[in-house]
Structure 1
Amino acid sequence: MDQLNSKKYSIYANFLNKLAKDLTTFYHSKLKGTFKVSNKLKGKGYDPVTTSDKAFEKFIRLKIKKKFPDHQVIGEEFGHKKSKSDFTWVIDPIDGTRSFVIGNPTWSNLISLNYKGYPILGLANFPVLKKYYLNYSDKIAYVYDNGKRKKISVNKKATFSSAKLSAAFHGALSLNQQKKIPKILKLMQFPCSDALSYSHLAEGRVDAVMQCSNKIWDIHPLIPIIKAAGGIVSTWSNKDAVNAGNILVSSNKIVHNKFLKLLKPVSK
């Protein structure tokens, strides 16, 4: 992948920095309160979408169109706007819609900028918590918490024996499959809270996160944040997380490889 120069990185990162603040303001001024929920799967399961998901995505698309009109956009709710540009914005307007529906504050707006198909910048914005995570290069990421900026890093001292694991299967693993990974089940001692868990790993609060069935908009915005903070990201079968799927994130390679080994019975 071609590398962007630091000036271009800062142009896009500054755009995302402002967008995070705009999204939080938009939520508290326009969207907080009533919303309508519908089920995308209609009797075949439960995959909720709300009027707020759609309002957020329209808002984000409009901001991108004004600033970068030739760029491609892929959003969960409104599909792919194609162009010849090497740049593509990937949007999850509300990651954690189930949390949003029941009033949990862990939902977020996730946005990545992809260059030639690979995520290079990511934003995870949490409007209720009034905090957001953003990388400014492939080596530097920050958390902005109530207006204060702090550089973040994974827990570099993490060992497998002391690792804090946050995990959720989201109904994707059957009971028989779960029986094949008893050590993982025993180590699942910390709550998994949507994209906030990945963000917590990037700032050293937990040491490993595993989730099932991530789509590209669930994980692309988090990949550059996690990597800039020093973390490792892959699928459970140790493939590039850019293809999404079942995702494992760890604070270092030793911890990552241990968990990959434990996941082997269910990673095919």
Structure 2
Amino acid sequence: MDRAFFATLSDVARAAIAAELERGLVADNKLEHGFDPVTEADRAAERALRGAIEAAFPDHGIWGEEYGWTREGAATVWSLDPVDGTRALVCGLPSWAVLVGLLEGDRHIGGMIDLPALNETLVGIDGETRRNGERVRSSGCTALADARLSTTDPHLFAGPEWDAFERVRSASRVTRFGLDAMAYARVATGDIDLVVENSLKRHDYDALIAVVRGAGGHVGDWQGGSDFAPGRIVAAASRSLYDQAVEVLNG
């Protein structure tokens, strides 16, 4: 796999989304209670991504947020979140992203965080992350007291999870909210040091792991391991910072 194909995926998704933005977005709500929007831009982008992958790699599996599985059980799988941060998109904010992860078995071997509103594409592959072609590195921050922390929405934490996050927030230097996948991009570029989140699905995190790791950061679960299925993710600028955050999360 080379970076050129990720550039192709960025191009086709951006074109599909731009066409829907030109028509005007209408957000449907996935939830009976609360608000989880989906738009035709989400669906059109995933169709475009699937079409490009199917043409180039007809034996690969595809998992996407909007259309589910194609060839489930394939050795190589693409994981698609065609618009991560749809709330940001419908509010005219630039933090929404196109996320594409590439896995062999359980190994995250490639990932793309594409930020069309910022004309910025980060691709992590072969252990190296580049933004618009230039290599990027995490800050290397090793101390929680110095860390710039982010989470998308603190209201997603409740009960013991809220208490755990609050311990980390209180121990960190500064906290910013509402960045969606852009927060992980900023860990890779050295501008944010730590992201702590819960309730993520595989299409939310599969792309992020290779991008952060390729920039020298560390990604794991809340227990110090790599069981991402429960959706509790910690992305850190260094393994030392990750270990400190996990220790504080667990009291």
Count of residue pairs brought into register by the alignment? 248
Going from structure 1 to structure 2, the CA distance change for 1:157 and 1:37 (only over 3 Å counts) comes to: closer
Quick one: percent identity of the two aligned structures?
25
For structure 1, which segment, 173-182 or 44-53, has the greater mean C-alpha deviation from structure 2 after superposition? Answer: 173-182
2:242 aligned with 1:251:
no
* C-alpha distance in structure 2 between counterparts of 1:181 and 1:157, whole Å: 19
2:58 aligned with 1:72:
no
* C-alpha distance in structure 2 between counterparts of 1:248 and 1:201, whole Å: 11
Q: How does 1:209-228 map to 2 (within 5 A)?
A: 209-228=195-214
Which position in structure 2 is the counterpart of 1:260?
A: 246
1:108 pairs with 97, 105, 109, which one? 97
Tell me how far 1:173 sits from its aligned partner: 1.8
Going from structure 1 to structure 2, the CA distance change for 1:97 and 1:179 (only over 3 Å counts) comes to: same
Which position in structure 2 is the counterpart of 1:18?
A: 8
Amino acid in the other structure paired with 2:139:
N
Amino acid in the other structure paired with 2:248:
L
1:160 and 1:254 in contact (8 A); partners too: no
1:207 pairs with 171, 189, 193, which one? 193
Which position in structure 2 is the counterpart of 1:40?
A: 30
For structure 1, which segment, 245-254 or 188-197, has the greater mean C-alpha deviation from structure 2 after superposition? Answer: 188-197
Going from structure 1 to structure 2, the CA distance change for 1:180 and 1:110 (only over 3 Å counts) comes to: closer
Structure 1, gaps ≥5 residues long: 1-8
2:12 and 2:48 in contact (8 A); partners too: no
Tell me how far 1:184 sits from its aligned partner: 2.3
Going from structure 1 to structure 2, the CA distance change for 1:244 and 1:61 (only over 3 Å counts) comes to: farther
1:74 and 1:81 in contact (8 A); partners too: yes
Which position in structure 1 is the counterpart of 2:108?
A: 119
Which position in structure 1 is the counterpart of 2:168?
A: 184
Q: What is the TM-score of this pair, normalised by structure 2? A: 0.91
1:231 pairs with 217, 224, 234, which one? 217
* C-alpha distance in structure 2 between counterparts of 1:208 and 1:48, whole Å: 27
1:170 and 1:212 in contact (8 A); partners too: no
2:143 aligned with 1:143:
no
Question: Equivalent residue of 1:221, what SS?
Answer: helix
1:71 and 1:83 in contact (8 A); partners too: no
Tell me how far 1:241 sits from its aligned partner: 4.9
* C-alpha distance in structure 1 between counterparts of 2:57 and 2:93, whole Å: 33
* C-alpha distance in structure 2 between counterparts of 1:62 and 1:176, whole Å: 43
Q: What is the TM-score of this pair, normalised by structure 1? A: 0.85
Which position in structure 2 is the counterpart of 1:93?
A: 82
* C-alpha distance in structure 1 between counterparts of 2:159 and 2:230, whole Å: 23
Tell me how far 1:156 sits from its aligned partner: 2.0
